[in-house]
Structure 1
C-alpha cells in the first residue's frame, strides 16, 4: 500500500470526492466504484435519508455491521484505530460512494470506523434490504459484491483488524494463522522471534511468551491461545443455531459441492444447514485463479467464487456455521440422522449430504515441519505471494492446483521452479495450463525431480532435490516452498459408519450397496442405492470426498446440485413409507451467482 498521507483539507472537488489514503489507484481492484444516479435511486426506494454532522460515527469498529450507507453529500472517513494515537485514515468517501466490505454482507463485526468529516446527507439501507437487492438486482449486486470483495482483500493486505502474536514454530500460531487466512479475516501477524513490537505488546498486557499465541484487537480485547471457535465468535462468524436443530438437510462441508447443494436445497424450500470445520470454499477457495470454469472466460479467483456461492446460499435461506467440526454420524430414528460435533452439540436432519472434501497431503521430508506456515505453504494466496517478491520459490506437484499456483506466483517471484516427480505434465495437468507454464519466462519445469530435504532454521534457504532417474542430488536456492501433491479424504469420523474404499473415500451407488453392512436396509425399501447415495439410505456424498469423483470445481458443483434431486426422491419415498411430510418437488431455480 502507499504511504501514510494526511487526508486533503477543504471540501473535495466532485471528481476527487473519494480520496485514496492507502491504495495503489483510485479504484484498486474495483473496490471503490461510484454508484450511478439510477442505482442510487433504486437503493433510495428501500432506504432512509439522514443528515450527518462532522464527527458523527456511522459504523463503529468492533461492532456488528447493521446498515449499508451511501454518501449523498459531504465526506465520510474510514478509519482504523479511531480515537487512539495509532489512528490512521484508510479512505475518504465522497458523493456516490458507499461504506462497507465483505463483513457487511455476512453480518460480521466491522474492522474499521466510519466517521463523518464534512456535513452532508447519507442514505441508510437495512442489511435485509441490501441482501434482497444484491440477489435480485444484478446491476447493484455485481457492483456491491465486487467492491466488498476488493475491500476485504485490501484490509487483509494492509494488516488491518486484529493482531496475532506468536512464534513461527508454534503449532497453535500456525493454526490461528491458517484459520484467519482461509476465512479471509483482516489481521496482522507479529512474529515473537523477530518483531520488536511483540516484546512491547507483551509488556503492555502483562503476559509472558509462554502464554502466546495471543489475539489482540483494538487494545481492549485479549485472547490467550484461543480456539478457532473463540476467534470466530469475536469476529462474528456464524455459529450453530441455539434452537431448531432439526431440519430437512444437513450438509457437512462447504466447498463447491457443499455450497451447490446448499443453494439448490434452500432454493427448493428445504430447511438447510451447512457446517464447516475450517473455512468456506474448500480447496477451490484457496485457488488464485480458476480459468477452466464454464461461464468465466477471464477466470475467477477461488475466493470470489466462494463468496458468490455463500451469498447465493444465504439469499435462499441456508444457514452456514463456522467452525463446526463433525465427529460422528448415526441414525436417530427411522426418519432422522444425527451428526455430533466436537463441541458436544448435535444436529438432526432427515437427509445428510457429505461434502467434506479432502485435506492437502503434507510433504514428508526432513526439515520441513519447522518451516511450515513460514516458508513452506500448502496454498498460494496473495498473502503468501507478497513474501515472494525478491526471492525464487519452488512448487512441488504436477496437477492443476500446482499449475495455477505457478502462474500466480510467477507474477510476484523473480523465478519459480516447478518440481515434478513424473516424466511430463500431461498426466494430470490441463493442456491450457501446460501451455502457459511452459511458455512463462520466469518458470523452470524440472521433471523427474523430488525433494529429499528442506534446509534452513528460521527461513527456508535451500532444497536438496534428487533426479529420480540418475539418483543425483543437487541444491536449489529458494526462499519459499509450495506443496500441491494431492489430498487425502476427510473421512476419519465416518470410519465404521459408512462404507469407504481402500483409500478412505466414501463409496456411493451400487458399490456402496454391495459394501453395506446392512443390506436389509435396501430390501425393506424395495429399491437400490441411488447414484450419489452412500451405504446409509438418505446419506449422500458429493465432490472430492466421494470415491471415483472427478476433481474439478464444475463437477463438484454439479454433484452437489444432483444430490438434492436424490434427496427429494429419498424424502418422498420416506413419506410414502410412513415418514414425515415429503419435500416439495419444485424445479431448481437457476441463478448467475454460482455460475
Structure 2
C-alpha cells in the first residue's frame, strides 16, 4: 500500500519505474483541444475495474487513487496520482476493459479526452506518444507483477487450465493463477461460489463475474478483446498470424489504404513476444523485450486503421467467386482479395517420460515475467542451444539463484549469436552443460529434479531444478494448409521460384507470369516470416518480409486478368497525413 499523508489521504506514488511521468503544460494544452475539463468530487469513481474505459484522463488538480479489487477482500492501492499525471494503462489503447479502479481522493479537475481523439493526437505527436506508451507498458508490467486482474482457478494437471494460462500470458493480460492442488484459498472459493470440481477451470473477476470452464473466446470477450473480424466481411487484405511478419504486413497494408484485418489463433506478437530480451534488433542498441516491441507494433497497426482479432483460428481457405473465402473455427467467414500467410511456428515439445503432467506447472515453453516470478528461490534449467534459449537464460538469471543451460551439441556457438554466447558464458549464475540431454523429469505436483545424460560419455546424473524451460526449435503452423498451397517436406510454405516448380502452370496462364517472390502456389496468396520455406528465423527479417509482401500485393492487384478480382480491387490509394518509408 502507498503511505498515507495528513488526514489519511495517500501520498503521491513516486515515479520509480518510468510508469508515472507528468505531462508538460504544452502537452496538456494540446490535449485540451480534443477534450473537456471536468470538476471531480471526493469519492467519485472515474473508471471501474472490469468495465470499459473510453476516455484518456489527465489530472489538472486534486488527487486520484488507483485501486485493485476496489471494495473487495484483496483491495490494495496500485498508485496515487497528482496534477500533471494521467490515468489508464495499456488496455485503454487496446480496447480492453479496465484492470483497476480510479477513485478521487482530493477533489479537483480532470481533462477528459475520448480515446479515439487521443490516439489521433498521439499519432501526430511522437514525444507525447512515446511518453504515454512507455508509461502504459510500464504500468501493464507492474499489474502483471502484482497479480492484478482476473483469477484463473484450476488444477496444474488440467490441459484446459494450461490453455487459459497460456492465452493470458501470451496476451500480457494481468491475472493470478490459483492452483487447486496446492493453494489453500482454492477450496474456500469453490465452496463460496458453489463451483463443482467438474466445472473447473474457472475464471473469476471482481468476485462477481464467474466463467465456468470457459473457452479462450469466452475469456477474450470478458476482457474486451475482439474475437471475430467485423465490418461487411469484405477485405482488401487478410493477414493470418500476428507475429512480427503479420504485424508488419498489417502496418504497411493499412497505411497504404488497404482495408486490412490481421487474425491470430492465440495472441498478438507471436513467438517474438515471449523473448525476454532482443538485443540485435536494429534501432534498439540497449535491447528491447519482445513483449514491448510487439505491443508497439500492435498499437502502430491500430493507428493506421488495421483490425486485429484474437483469438480467431482460420480453418480453411478457398477461392470463391473471384475472391478468397476464409472460414474460422467458430463457423464465421470473411472474404478477401489477397492473403498474407504469417502464421509462424509453434514450439516443439520435449518428449521425455513424466513431462506431460508437469507442463504448465513447472515445465514451460516460454520465459515471461509470470514464469520468472515463480523462480526466485530455486534453481531452474533451460534446454536449447539457439538464441531463444540464450535470451531466456539471461532473463531468468535475473530472478533465479542458479540457471543451468543444457545443450545437446558440444558447441554453444553453433546456433547461438556470438553476443549471446559471450553473455551466457560469463554470467555468474549460469552453468552451461554441453553434450547434455534430459532423459527424465522427476516430481509429482511440481518438478524436483532432472535426470540428464552426457551423450558423449553416457554418464547420467540428477540435476536439481524446480522449473524447466524448453527451447528446442519449432514446427510450422500449416496443418490446415496442406491441401491448399504447396509445402516443403517439413511443412513450410513454398514461395517464389520454389512455388513455381510445384505449381500447376495452368493457374498462371491468364496472368502471364509465375509466382512473385513471396507468392505461394495460389495467385494473391503470399507467405512471410517463419512459416515460409527458406526464411531467416529472425524478428527483423520477418518484419521485412511482411512489408515486402504488401508491396507484392500491390503488384498482384495491378495485374490485368487478376485471377482473384473483386469490387474492392484497385490501385493503392493514399491516405491523408500518412506516410510510410
Match of 1:352 in 2: 339
- 1: CA distance, partners of 2:564 / 2:337: 13
1:416 to 363, 387, 403: 403
Deviations 1:146-169 (A, max 9, x none): 111111111111111111110000
Match of 1:498 in 2: 485
Residue 564 in 1 paired to residue 550 in 2? yes
Could you tell me whether the CA contact under 8 Å between 1:568 and 1:585 is conserved in 2? Answer: no
Residue 534 in 1 paired to residue 534 in 2? no
Match of 2:364 in 1: 377
Q: TM-score if structure 1 supplies the norm length?
A: 0.94
Deviations 1:327-373 (A, max 9, x none): 11111122x11111100011100000000000000100001111111
Match of 1:431 in 2: 418
Alignment of 1:25-104 (within 5 A): 26-104=14-92
Could you tell me whether the CA contact under 8 Å between 2:149 and 2:176 is conserved in 1? Answer: yes
- 1: CA distance, partners of 2:389 / 2:196: 40
Could you tell me whether the CA contact under 8 Å between 1:270 and 1:583 is conserved in 2? Answer: no
Question: What is the aligned-residue RMSD (CA, Å)?
Answer: 1.6
Task: Flag structure 1 segments of 5+ consecutive residues without an equivalent.
Answer: 20-25
- 2: CA distance, partners of 1:367 / 1:241: 40
Change (3 A) 1:579 1:193: closer
1:489 to 476, 490, 502: 476
Match of 2:262 in 1: 274
Could you tell me whether the CA contact under 8 Å between 2:556 and 2:562 is conserved in 1? Answer: no
Match of 1:22 in 2: none
Change (3 A) 1:574 1:117: farther
Change (3 A) 1:152 1:526: same
Residue 249 in 1 paired to residue 237 in 2? yes
Change (3 A) 1:32 1:214: same
- 2: CA distance, partners of 1:28 / 1:161: 22
Q: Runs of at least 4 residues of structure 1 off by over 6 A? A: 575-578
Shift of 1:27: 2.2
Shift of 1:465: 0.7
Could you tell me whether the CA contact under 8 Å between 1:377 and 1:481 is conserved in 2? Answer: yes
Residue 8 in 1 paired to residue 18 in 2? no
SS at match of 1:30: coil
Deviations 1:389-422 (A, max 9, x none): 1111111000000110111111111111111111
Could you tell me whether the CA contact under 8 Å between 1:288 and 1:381 is conserved in 2? Answer: yes
Match of 1:309 in 2: 297
Could you tell me whether the CA contact under 8 Å between 1:165 and 1:189 is conserved in 2? Answer: yes
- 2: CA distance, partners of 1:474 / 1:204: 47
Could you tell me whether the CA contact under 8 Å between 1:289 and 1:302 is conserved in 2? Answer: yes
SS at match of 1:248: strand
1:155 to 113, 128, 143: 143
Shift of 1:507: 0.4
Shift of 1:468: 0.8
Corresponding pairs, count:
577
Shift of 1:448: 0.7
Match of 2:170 in 1: 182
Could you tell me whether the CA contact under 8 Å between 1:17 and 1:95 is conserved in 2? Answer: no
Change (3 A) 1:577 1:457: closer
Match of 1:589 in 2: 579
Change (3 A) 1:315 1:574: farther
- 1: CA distance, partners of 2:206 / 2:4: 22
Deviations 1:244-302 (A, max 9, x none): 11110000000000000000000001000110100010010011110000000011111
- 1: CA distance, partners of 2:37 / 2:411: 63
Match of 1:407 in 2: 394
2:202 to 214, 222, 242: 214
- 2: CA distance, partners of 1:54 / 1:586: 49
Task: Flag structure 2 segments of 5+ consecutive residues without an equivalent.
Answer: none
Match of 2:12 in 1: 18
Match of 2:119 in 1: 131
SS at match of 2:374: helix
